[in-house]
Each structure stands twice: as structure tokens, then as C-alpha cells.
Structure 1
């Protein structure tokens, strides 16, 4: 069986992402000649060309594109394994939960209370993040996260649905639509919307938002409007208005965690969250 070394994948990923041996070598903190030799040796071992070399330009072959995709997966998994191993060896273990401020559907206090009654419960460390919560899971920096469908990529994660909500347009009381009972997406098309951390810049979007207080303040100042789950109503300021968006796709709050996780503490947290959600939505026995 052909086994690739992590070092080879690190070298190849740098070259494939930079598409320039000099920049890749600088990124890796090494000289260019040994890097070039390492990639050539990798191509010989695999028996396929990974790069198309022409003059001063290089490009990925089809095989190279496949190896880049697979290398990223392997390197992410290796990094996550290191993070989880270090955390597992701590003398004060905890369960790290990543949340979006104001994005728990009002369920989190009851979930935390129910979890503490579980025999396998650990202290819960809350990490607030407006962006890339699923990335923290994949990197091994968190055990679970509250995410929203359809907005997050759940590849490689297991999930438990908690709450499905309609969406509201949140705007200042002075907004032209503030007196409406209901709106449609076309009614505010072209108006600036929040730009979440990690999202690509778009001239049609408003400033990048990092927390709920900042978001609501920018809306009140007329810098943007936002489409948010209906549970946000209870957290709105007096100078803001929220009305239903009839044709906005409902959002589903989910609890997510890495596939194949075997932690008893995590399993207990999932049970507690599911029980609270069932009770809140009237599905409990």
C-alpha cells in the first residue's frame, strides 16, 4: 500500500495553493531546490504528474487537483486530532460549545440546566462566534456548535434538529417598510445586509458584523437591514422593528458535532438538547 507522509502533503499543498515554488518555499520557511525535489519525488512515487510546468507558470493537473482536495482533508484531520488530544489531556476537561450571540432560539439556558443534571456532564465553555463555527468543530477546537440550516455547511458533521423558525426583517423604526405587517424579499432587494466574518466582500453588503450588539446598533443607525430568525424578537431594541418575510426560507437551528465522536459528555449534551427542544416545540411526551 502506498503511504504518503504528512510532510509531503504539507509541501504539495503549499505549492498547489501558491502555484509558485518560490512563494511556497518562503511560506514553508525552506529553500526552493529541496521543495522542488520533494514534489518531483512525490510525482515519481505516485506515477502521475501533479503539476503542469511551463516557463515561469505552473498549474495543477487533474490528478494534482484531486491530491490538493484530499491533502486538505488529511491535514485538517491531523490538526483536529492534535487539538482534541491536547484538550483530552487537560486536568480540567470541559465541553466547548460554539454559539452565535442571540442565535440559540431561546433554548440555551434550559439546555445548559438539563445538561448539568446528566451524570456524564462536564463544565460547558461557551465560545461566541458570528462566523466559521463549523470550522472550529472540524479543527477540533470545539465539541459542538449551534448552527443554522440552510446557511452552514454540515459536511463531516452529525446533527440534531432543535427548532425551525420563520424569518423576520429587522429594520429601524424610520425605515420605509416599518409600517408593513408583512414583506417579501423583493421589497428590500438591494438594501445593505450584514456581512458575516469569513464571507467574501461584496459591495452590496454592509459592514462586517462581529456580535449581536454591533448588528442591532448598525441597523438602528440605518446602515443595514437584516433577515433573522423569529426568536430575535425578544432581544430587539425599542428603536427597531421586525416584520415577517413571507417568502424567506425558514431556518432550522441544529446542534452539530464531528462525525464519529464518542465522548460520553457530548452524547449527554445531545440528549439534553433534544429533550429541551422536544418540550419547547410540544413534541415531548
Structure 2
């Protein structure tokens, strides 16, 4: 069976993700004709068509879909092997934790304090990832552990421990038809338009329409303010609440889990110790009443009033 070279996989994955030879070539810093020839040679050697080309578009053929999936995994494995080998030889290894800014449900300070009290504690380096790439940081070795949200993040190749479970809230413009409700249901949102989160599988209301693509919460909030969409998020990711928007609990939405994730094949004591400290700290923190209680504020509530959710509106 023909072997694949790492460089060939890098070339193909770039084309498959961009679906445009020019953009892929710029991303790889090579000439477009050279990239096209490399992909043609790869197809010839494998004996399959990876891409469906026309004068107007490039699309993935079924074989290309398969190679994109397995190629990404292979590239991650190669990168992780090199990084973990280097780190295994470093006796002063720091533990690297990747998080989304604000995506810790207010647990991070307690977790770090609990870990620092352990006699085997190492320095913890905090890395900030985007809305959708934190799991990749762990898979390719850039980070040892990550704070992720289930079911939003891709957990392929990862083990995890659940730190907290929380409800979801709908974020609405103040003149929305549901803004006067104390809470809403998925049925209420069935005909609404929700944003498409880049790199995240669909986790909104089952029958809702898919609206503009967004890469982070800031973009989503801008679209909500413009009346182009609404959003459904885990409660902790909806904080801090924007004063010009309305937040309503989605009573029957599946709960979201904030988890600490690590590579399935990572059995290092360094990682196990941090996991134990994090689980212990999260258990001591307990569920936040604010994360469980429905918010009873309405559009007519005074902006500075407090409701049972414990927040000021």
C-alpha cells in the first residue's frame, strides 16, 4: 500500500479546509502550481479522486472526506509525538492548561489554589484558545489539559472529568417576542434563527434555522443586537451579561457540562495530579445557585433589580 508523507498530508488538509487552491497555497507559503501538482501526484498514487474541481468551485470527494478526517488525526499524532517526547525529557516541565477566556464557570482560581497545595505541584501555564480549537491544543500536544464544554466541543481522543453541570440560556434582543417571559422552552425557539458556530456541531434548538456563522461570543452578541439571530449558550458562557440584551433560561434544554479533558493515552503523574485537584476543588465549590435557578427578570424589571438568579439586571 502506498505510504503518505507528512508534507503531502499537510498540503491536502490545507486545500480541504480552504476549498480553494489560492488560499491554501498562501497559507502554506508555496506557489499555487506546485500545490496543485502535489495534490495531483497524491491522487495518482492513491488511485482515487480526492477533490471535485470545476471552474467555479472545489469540493471534497468521498475519498477526500475520509483522508481529511484521518489526515488531521495523523498530523495531530505526529505533532503530539514530537512535543510529548521533548516534554518527557524535561524534568522541569510545566503543566499547560488551555481555556476559553471566561470559560471556567468561576472555578479556575479554586482549582489552581487546590493544585498549588499539593506537594507535587508544578507551575501551571495558562493558554487561551478560541471558541473551537481548545481540544486540538490537547490532541496535538500544545496543552496537557483543557477546560471544555460538552456537548459543544469535539471530545475525540480525549478523556474527561465533569466539573460542573449547568443550564442554558437564550440571549435575545430586548424587543423580541419572548423577552417578557421569565423562561422559554425549545418549542418556543423552534422557528428562531441561531448562529452557526465555526467548528462546532449544531447544538441549538432542533428545529431552529441556522443563521450567520460566528467564531466567538462577541460576534454572536453583535448579530443578536442587530436582530439577525438569537443564541443559546451554557449559562457561564453567557456572562458577563450585556446590558442591551435579555437573558432567559431555556427550561427544557439539555444541560451542559464543563469538563477537564486530557489525551486518552496520557498517563503522566503530572496530569493525574492536576485532575485530582480540579475534581476536588469543583466538588468543594458545589453547584452555584445562580447556575441552576431560573432567572425571573422580565423586560419590565428595573435594570438595577435583583432576581432569584442572584444577578443584577
Q: Residue in 2 aligned with 1:181?
A: 182
Q: Distance in 2 between matches of 1:238 and 1:100?
A: 22
Write out per-residue CA displacement over residues 108-133 of structure 1, whole angstroms, 9 at most, x where no aligned residue: 22111111112232222223321222
Alignment-derived partner of residue 280 in structure 1: 285
Structure 1 residue aligned with 2:214? 208
Unaligned runs of 5+ in 2: 202-208, 288-313
Match of 2:251 in 1: 246
Equivalences for 1:78-227 in 2 at 5 Å?
78-86=78-86, 93-128=93-128, 129-198=130-199, 204-206=210-212, 208-211=214-217, 215-216=220-221, 219-220=224-225, 222-227=227-232
- Alpha-carbon separation, structure 1, partners of 2:101 and 2:195: 14
Distance 1:63 1:193, change over 3 A: closer
SS in structure 2 at match of 1:205:
strand
Q: CA deviation at 1:50?
A: 4.6
Structure 1 residue 262 displacement after superposition: 2.6
Provide the rounded CA distance (Å) in 1 between the counterparts of 2:60 and 2:189. 42
CA RMSD in angstroms comes to: 4.6
Equivalent pair of 2:98/2:126 in contact (CA under 8 Å): yes
Equivalent position of 2:296 in the other structure: none
With the length of structure 2 as denominator, give the TM-score of the two structures.
Answer: 0.66
CA contact (8 A) 1:93 1:122 kept: yes
Q: TM-score, normalised by structure 1?
A: 0.71
Distance (Å, rounded) in 2 between the aligned partners of 1:5 and 1:236? 49
Partner of 1:187: helix, strand, or coil? coil
The gaps in structure 1 that reach 5 residues or longer are: 44-48
Change in 2 beyond 3 A, CA 1:220/1:127: farther
- Number of residue pairs matched by the alignment: 272
